[in-house]
Amino acid sequence: MSTVAVLFVCLGNICRSPTAHAVFRQIVIAQGLDSKIQVDSAGTGDWHLGRAPDARSTATAAERGYDLSDLRARLVTSSDFAHFDYIIAMDNSNLNDLQVMRPSEFSGELELFLNYPAKDRYSGYTEVPDPYLGGAEGFALVLEMIEDASLGLLEHIKAQLQQSDMAGG
């Protein structure tokens, strides 16, 4: 089986994308795919570089068994497009910023995370909303959406890996 690399991107890289990083990584490990699928996260803004994730994200995720403690904020760069096969934006603003950076030779997928739905529970949403200035319920909603979308993204990637294996890629 070939290998792929997945990058989750939000604005600060301290709330949504590190949550997605930890949740998706854990599901990948649980399915025995961690030697096939590499996971990382980054932000489009530089306010929190080198910092640990927001304590509210860390606590909300820890209640459901996800560990964010090893993650540190970094900026997304144009060289990420050379390494990652899937660059996953949390909202349309992140997606627009990434589309501006996107080199013409990038042949991977640059997509909104909620374009990979596992269930219909969040059908009213097209974006993972920024929880930074809101209350605890925003962080809980973000975690639920990320758990749901992670399953959808992983199914999509597994199907693509199988196709490329069958094609000898």
Q: Which are the catalytic amino acids?
A: 10, 16, 130
Give me the amino acid identity at 78.
Answer: S
Closer CB to ligand 4NP, 27 or 142, in the complex: 142
Q: Are 159 and 152 in contact (CB under 8 A)?
A: no
Taking contact as CB under 6 A, which single stretch among the options 12-20, 34-42, 60-68, 98-106 is the one that binds ligand 4NP?
Answer: 12-20
Pair 12, 47: CB distance under 8 Å: yes
Per-residue contact string for residues 49-88; x = within reach of ligand 4NP by CB under 6 A: ----------------------------------------
Residue 10 found at the interface with ligand 4NP (CB under 6 A): yes
Alpha-helix residue ranges (DSSP H) falling in the chain: 16-30, 55-63, 80-83, 92-101, 136-166
Q: Three-class SS string for 93-137? A: HHHHHHHHHCCCCCCCEEEEHHHCCCCCCCCCCCCCCCCCCCCHH
Which residue, 4 or 15, has its beta carbon nearer to ligand 4NP? 15
Query: Least distance from C-beta 48 to ligand 4NP, angstroms?
Result: 6
Short-list 44, 2, 20, CA closest to 151 = 20
Q: Which of residues 35-54 bind ligand 4NP (CB under 6 A)?
A: 47
* Residue number with the smallest Cβ distance to ligand 4NP: 12
Sheet holding 86-89, edge to edge: 37-43, 4-10, 86-89, 109-112
> Within 90-129, which residues bind ligand 4NP (CB under 6 A)?
none
User: 60 or 161, CB closer to ligand 4NP?
Assistant: 60
Q: Give the footprint of ligand 4NP on this chain (CB under 6 A).
A: 10-16, 47, 130, 132
